[in-house]
Amino acid sequence: MCVQPESSDRLALGLDFGTESVRALLVDLKGTERSSSAVKYEHGSITETLPTTGEMLPPDFALQHPGDWVEASCQAVRDALEQAGLTTGDPTAAVVSIGVDFTSCTMLPARADGTPLCLCDEYIGEKYAWPKLWKHHGAKTQTDRINQLARERNEPWLKHYGGVIGLEWFFPKVLETLEKAPRIYDETDVWLEGGDWYVWQLIGADQPVPRSTCIAGYKAMWSAEDSYPSPGFFKALHPKMANVVKDKMPGTLIAPGRPAGTLCATMAKQMNLCAGIPVSAAIIDAHAGVPGVGVGEPNTLVMVMGTSSCHMLMHNEAVEVPGVAGIVKDGILPGYIGYETGQAAVGDAFDWLRRMLNHDSFDTLTKQAMTVPPGCQGVTCVDWFNGCRTPLMDGTLTGAFTGLTLNHHAGHMFRSLLEASAYGVRWIVEVLEAGGVPVDRFVATGGLPHQSPLLMQVYADVLAKPVMVPGTRQGPALGSAILGVLAAGEAVSGFASTSDAVKAMAGHMEKTTYTPNDAVKSAYDQAYHRYRLQVDRIADK
Amino acid sequence: MCVQPESSDRLALGLDFGTESVRALLVDLKGTERSSSAVKYEHGSITETLPTTGEMLPPDFALQHPGDWVEASCQAVRDALEQAGLTTGDPTAAVVSIGVDFTSCTMLPARADGTPLCLCDEYIGEKYAWPKLWKHHGAKTQTDRINQLARERNEPWLKHYGGVIGLEWFFPKVLETLEKAPRIYDETDVWLEGGDWYVWQLIGADQPVPRSTCIAGYKAMWSAEDSYPSPGFFKALHPKMANVVKDKMPGTLIAPGRPAGTLCATMAKQMNLCAGIPVSAAIIDAHAGVPGVGVGEPNTLVMVMGTSSCHMLMHNEAVEVPGVAGIVKDGILPGYIGYETGQAAVGDAFDWLRRMLNHDSFDTLTKQAMTVPPGCQGVTCVDWFNGCRTPLMDGTLTGAFTGLTLNHHAGHMFRSLLEASAYGVRWIVEVLEAGGVPVDRFVATGGLPHQSPLLMQVYADVLAKPVMVPGTRQGPALGSAILGVLAAGEAVSGFASTSDAVKAMAGHMEKTTYTPNDAVKSAYDQAYHRYRLQVDRIADK
C-alpha cells in the first residue's frame, strides 16, 4: 500500500546509465544522499562477439543488450532501497520522483509494443538489430554522406552543430542499418534512443513514446523551431528514408524536468516501488551532470570526465560556433543556450595506455609521470585514440606520440597523454571564446577527477585557471534526481524554479579546488603550441 | 720464447670493440674458429654520471672509459687463448696477426705520449676530457655551423658525404670541446679516434700515431686526394682551429689491412702473447663486417645490425648520392668504392621499447607482434629515436608512433617498430638506386638477425628480396682477423689478394635465407607509403 509520506522523508530517485553499469541514487530534497548502488551490465559493452551466436563483430562495432538496462537498473533500485532501509510496505512510498540519464547516442530499433528487435526470435542473431552504443563507429561512410548532402543543400540545422554532424549520432546509425541490413530497417516500427526507450518502459509501452528534447536536440538534429530535418533531405539521402520521422519515429517530445508519465505497475513491481511515481523525460548522462554538481549559472564549463569527456556550458545567447557539436536552446537547463563539446577518449585512453605499458594499476605510472617536467621534455601526445570530437568531429582521426627519443620512458608516455587531454580542453576553450562564448570557470566531475590529482593539477596549469572538483562522484545521478523532482512539480517538491532546486539539492557539496601554478605556465604554453602543430598534421590526412 | 709455428697452426686474432663490450676471436687461416671471448666494459656507456666525480651528465652525453678498452680486451685475449688451450710457452706463438675494429666516431684527446687526458690527475673530473662515444650527441650546434660554413664555402669534401656531415663525427666533437672546455682543447696534444688510439697502444706510443684511412675517410672528411679540410676552412670555423690538423692530429694514415706496426712488449705481456706480432690499422666495426661475412663482391648491401645499424655496399664507380653519408675509395675493401649508410637506433630502440612496455624479454612482445598483420592495422612508427642517419643525417630528429586507436595493443607498437626499421632500409635502398648505385643482394649480420627471425622475415618482405643471414655472430671480429692477416703479408698468410683471404677465411660459413612472401607485398607497400608520409612530416620541423 502506497501512502504519501511526510515532506521530510521525501526521496528522489536518480538513475544514471553509463557505458558499463547503471547507478541508482536515493537523495532527499535537501540534497542529502540516502543510498546509492551501481550494478554492472551482464554483457557490458559488446565489441567482440554477438552474445547470442558468437559471431565475430567488425572492429568498429559497439553494441549493448537492452535486457541489461532493465535487469541492472531494477537490481540497483532494489539495492538502494534496501540500503536506505526501505524494504517493505509504506516506506517505499517515500520515493516521490524518478529521473533518468543515459549515454547517447545509444539507440535501437523496436517493435510498436516496445520490444527491442534484437529480443525477437527472428532477429536475435542479426547484429544490426542490436542497440548501437554511443561509441559504435560503423557509420563512417554514412556520416560523410549526410554531411556532404547537408552542405550541398545548405540545410538550416547544420549551423547548430558547427557545420558537421558526428559519426556517433542517431541518423548515421539509422542509415547504416538501412544500408547494411535493409530487412531490419523495414521491420522496425520505432527507432529511438536507449534513454527514451527506458523511460517508455518505466511509464508503460501503452503510452506514447516519450522523446527527450535534449537527446533529440543534441543527437538527432531536432530543434524546437524546425523539428527534425525535412522529408526532402531524408529522401535525397535514401529514398526509403523519406518518411523515417513520420513512419518510424512516433512519440512526443518532452524536455528533461517535465513529466513523461508515471511509473507503470510492471516496472514498479520489479523495483519494489509504488506505481504512479512521476517520471521525467530522459537526459543525456553528461548533461545531467551540470545541475548534479550545483551549476545553475552560465559560462561555467562543466567537464564530465569518464571513459570519454563531455564538456557543457550554458550561455545567455545563441551564437554559432564552428566546431561546437551541439548548440541547443534549453538543452541543459531551461532559460539558457546549452553548448556541448567533448573528447572521445579520456579514461578509456588512460586505461588503454596502462594496459599497453603492462601495469596493473596507475600507481607506478603516476609516480613516473610526476618525475617528468611539464611539457614532457619534447614528447607530444595527440589523444585521438577514439577519433576527435570537438572541434573536428571526425571519428576516423587517430592518436599519436611524437618527439620520442631513447631518453624517454613510460612516465613520459603517460604524462604526455594526461597533458594531451588538458590541451584538448584548452583548444575547446579557445574555440568557444573565439566564437564569442566566454568560459569563466571550470568544474570537473565524473569518475576521473577523483582518481588523479595529478591530472587535475595538469588541467589547472594548462588552462591557467582554477579547476573545481565537487566531492560527489554522482553528479549525473544527482542531476537526474533533480530533474525527476522538477518533473514531479512544485506541489510535490516545493521548488518554484529550476535554479532553486539545483541550489537546494546540489549547492552544498564539498569540493576541492586545483589552483594554477604560474611557474609552469610558459612550459605548458610551448608544449600546447607543439600539440596544436601535431594536431594540424594529423588532421591534414 | 716465441717460435714460428707450423702453417696449419697459424691463428689470426681479431678484436671487435663494440659499444658495451669487446670480443676477441681466434681463427685459423681456413676460417675455422678456435675460440672466442667477449668481455664487458666495466663502465659500459657512460651516460648518467661521471665515474670519477659523480657529476650528472647532460642528456645528450655518451662517454667511455679508455681504461676499459685495454682491461677488457686483454682479459678477452687471455680468455680466448686459454679456451684454445694456448696458455703457456710456445703455443702462443701460433698467433700470427692482430686486426682491430672499433665503434666510430668514438674519439678522445690525449697527451703526446698517448695518455688520455681523462686519465691525467688534473683533468679527471672534467667531462670534456673523456672519450666521446659515437652516440654522444653534444655537438648539435657545432654540426650545424660546420655544415653551414661548408655550404657557404662550397667545400669540395662535402659531396662525398651527401652534402651534409653528421652530428656524431670527429670535427663536431672537437669543436664542441673547444667551445665548451677551451682548456681541454688547448692542452690536447693528439686528437684521435678510439680505434687508432688502441692500435697505437698495441704498437707502442713511441711509434707514430697510426690513423686508419677508413675511419678518417668516413668520420673526419679525409680523402686520399684532398687530405683533411683546409686550414682556411678550420680558421673560418674557429680561429683556434686553423692548424688543428698540423698541430693536434699527428700521425700516419694507413689503410686497414696494411701494417700499423708490431705488438709492443708491454701489451704483449698483458695479453699473454709474443711481442712483434704484426698489427693492422684499425677499421670501423661495421666495415669489418663486410669481409667478415664473406662478402667480397660489389652491390651487396651488408647490414650490420646491433644497437644501431650500419649498412655498407661496394660499387665499381664513385657516384655522388645525396643523403649517403660516406663514399670512400677503398673504404671497405681495396678496389671498390665503399658506400656507408646507417640507422641510428635499431637494437637500442627495440630494447628501449621493451623496457617502456615493461617486459623482461622479447618473447611475449614477439608473440603479440606475430598476431598483428603486416602494415600493423594503421599504426606507423618512425624509428628516429636517436635521430636519422641515412638519408637525412640529422641527429636532432625524433621518433613517433602514429595512427593509434584504442583497438591497438603492445603487439602493434612492437611490430610497428620492427616494420619501421625495415622501411628505413627500403628508403636507403631507394636513395642508393635513385643515385645510380644498384642494390642486388642483402646480407644481415650483427647480433640482431640471430635474435629475431620475425625481424628478418619483415625485412625480406618489405624489401621484396631474399635476406641472407650468415651463421657467424662474429662477422666484424672475423673481418678484423682477416685484415690482420692481410697486414701480416703474403709471406705469412699465403694469400695473394684480399678476395682470396675473404674467400678462404669467410666463404664457407653456414647461413639462413629469408625469402619474401608475395602475399604480403601490397600491404607492406601501402604501409611503407604511410611511413614515408610520416617521415616527411617529422622532417619538416
**How many angstroms separate the CA atoms of A219 and A325, rounded?**
9
Of these ranges, A331-340, A383-392, B81-90, B110-119, the one predicted with the greatest mean pLDDT is: B110-119
Q: Taking CA atoms, what residue in A is nearest to B535?
A: A402
Put simply, the answer to whether A357 touches B359 (Cβ < 8 Å) is no
* A3 vs B525, residue with greater confidence: B525
ipTM over the 0.85 cut-off: no
Query: Is A386 an interface residue toward B (CB < 8 Å)?
Result: yes
pTM greater than the 0.90 cutoff: no
C-alpha distances (whole Å) from A537 to each of A131, A254, A460 are 35, 43, 27
Closest partner residue to B385 among A386, A404, A413, by Cβ? A404
Q: For chain B, how big is the Rg over CA atoms in Å?
A: 23
* Residue type for position A326: G
Written as nine digits, the cell of A422 is 588538458
Residue of B285, B284, B286, B266 lying closest to B276 (CA atoms): B266
DSSP B8-43: GG-EEEEEEE-SSEEEEEEEETTS-EEEEEEEE-SS
Q: What does the pLDDT read at residue A89?
A: 57
* Residue type for position A427: W
Phi, psi of B14 (to 5 degrees): -115, 130
* Residue type for position B323: G
H/E stretch holding B101 reads strand B95-102
Q: Taking CA atoms, what residue in A is nearest to B386?
A: A405
Q: What is the DSSP letter of B494?
A: -
Cβ proximity of B482 and B333 under 8 Å? no
Written as nine digits, the cell of B146 is 660546420
Q: What is the mean pLDDT of residues A13-39?
A: 95
Residue of B142, B19, B14 lying closest to B80 (CA atoms): B14
DSSP A387-402: BB-TTT-BTT--EEEE
Query: Is B89 an interface residue toward A (CB < 8 Å)?
Result: no
Which residues, 6+ apart, have CB-to-CB distance to A533 below 8 Å? none
A207 C-beta neighbours (distance < 10 Å), count: 17
The answer to whether the bond into A322 is cis (omega within 30° of 0) is no
Q: For chain A, how big is the Rg over CA atoms in Å?
A: 23
Query: Is A530 an interface residue toward B (CB < 8 Å)?
Result: no
Percent of chain B with pLDDT over 70: 97
pLDDT over 80 (residue A529) = yes
Closest partner residue to B402 among A359, A378, A398, by Cβ? A398
**How many angstroms separate the CA atoms of A470 and A304, rounded?**
11
Give the pLDDT confidence of A98-139 residue by residue, as tens digits.
Answer: 999 999 999 999 999 999 999 999 998 999 999 999 999 999
Give CATH for domain A294-471+510-541.
Answer: 3.30.420.40
Residue of A416, A350, A348, A343 lying closest to A378 (CA atoms): A416
Instruction: Please report where in the chains the cell 554522482 appears, as a residue.
Output: A474
**How many angstroms separate the CA atoms of A191 and A195, rounded?**
12
SS3 assignment, position B495: coil
Residue of A346, A350, A410, A351 lying closest to A376 (CA atoms): A410
Contacts of B410 in chain A (CB under 8 A): 356-358
SS3 assignment, position B6: coil
Positive or negative torsion for Cα A500, A505, A508, A510: negative
3-state secondary structure A313-337: EEECCCCCCCCCCEEEECCCCCCCE
Phi, psi of B394 (to 5 degrees): -140, 105
Confidence of residue A307 (pLDDT cuts 50, 70, 90): confident
Q: What is the mean pLDDT of residues B195-205?
A: 98
Query: Is B361 an interface residue toward A (CB < 8 Å)?
Result: no
Alpha-carbon distance B407 to nearest alpha carbon in chain A (angstroms): 8
C-alpha distances (whole Å) from A431 to each of A167, A392, A417, A436, A438 are 21, 11, 21, 9, 10
Whether A12-285 and A294-471+510-541 share one fold: the answer is yes
Q: What is the mean pLDDT of residues A478-503?
A: 92
Q: What is the mean pLDDT of residues B66-72?
A: 98
Put simply, the answer to whether B385 touches A398 (Cβ < 8 Å) is no
Q: What is the mean pLDDT of residues B270-282?
A: 95
Closest partner residue to B407 among A59, A405, A410, by Cβ? A59
Find which of A404, A415, A530, A534 to mutate to test the B interface (most B CBs within 10 Å of its CB). Answer: A404
Put simply, the answer to whether B404 touches A400 (Cβ < 8 Å) is yes
Confidence of residue B192 (pLDDT cuts 50, 70, 90): very high
Contacts of B349 in chain A (CB under 8 A): 406
List strand residue ranges (DSSP E) for B111-258, in order. Answer: 190-193, 210-212, 252-254
The answer to whether the bond into A391 is cis (omega within 30° of 0) is yes
Its CATH architecture, for the domain A12-285, is: 2-Layer Sandwich (3.30)
Q: What is the DSSP letter of B169?
A: S
Query: What does pLDDT average to over chain A?
Result: 93
Q: What does the pLDDT read at residue A355?
A: 97
Phi, psi of B522 (to 5 degrees): -70, -35
Written as nine digits, the cell of A184 is 531490419
Tally the residues of chain B: 541
Where in chain B are the domains? Answer: 12-285, 294-471+510-541
Closest partner residue to B398 among A356, A404, A409, by Cβ? A404
Put simply, the answer to whether A404 touches B410 (Cβ < 8 Å) is no
Give the pLDDT confidence of B381-431 residue by residue, as tens digits.
Answer: 999 999 898 999 887 899 999 999 999 999 999 999 999 999 999 999 999
* CA angle at A367 for the pair A361 and A370, rounded to the nearest 5°: 135
A112 burial class (0-12, 13-18, 19+ CB within 10 angstroms)?
Answer: exposed
Put simply, the answer to whether A404 touches B399 (Cβ < 8 Å) is yes
Q: Taking CA atoms, what residue in B is nearest to A351?
A: B406
Cβ proximity of A211 and A193 under 8 Å? yes
pLDDT over 90 (residue B65) = yes
pLDDT over 50 (residue B366) = yes
3-state secondary structure A159-187: HHHCCCCCCCCHHHHHHHHHHHCHHHHHH
Tally the residues of chain A: 541
Alpha-carbon distance B349 to nearest alpha carbon in chain A (angstroms): 7
Q: What does the pLDDT read at residue A166?
A: 87
**How many angstroms separate the CA atoms of B419 and B372, rounded?**
11
Q: What does the pLDDT read at residue A1?
A: 39
Q: What is the DSSP letter of B408?
A: -
Confidence of residue A7 (pLDDT cuts 50, 70, 90): very low
Q: What is the mean pLDDT of residues A244-262?
A: 95
Give the pLDDT confidence of B143-177 residue by residue, as tens digits.
Answer: 999 999 999 999 999 888 877 888 999 999 999 99
Q: What does the pLDDT read at residue A541?
A: 67
Written as nine digits, the cell of B223 is 680523402
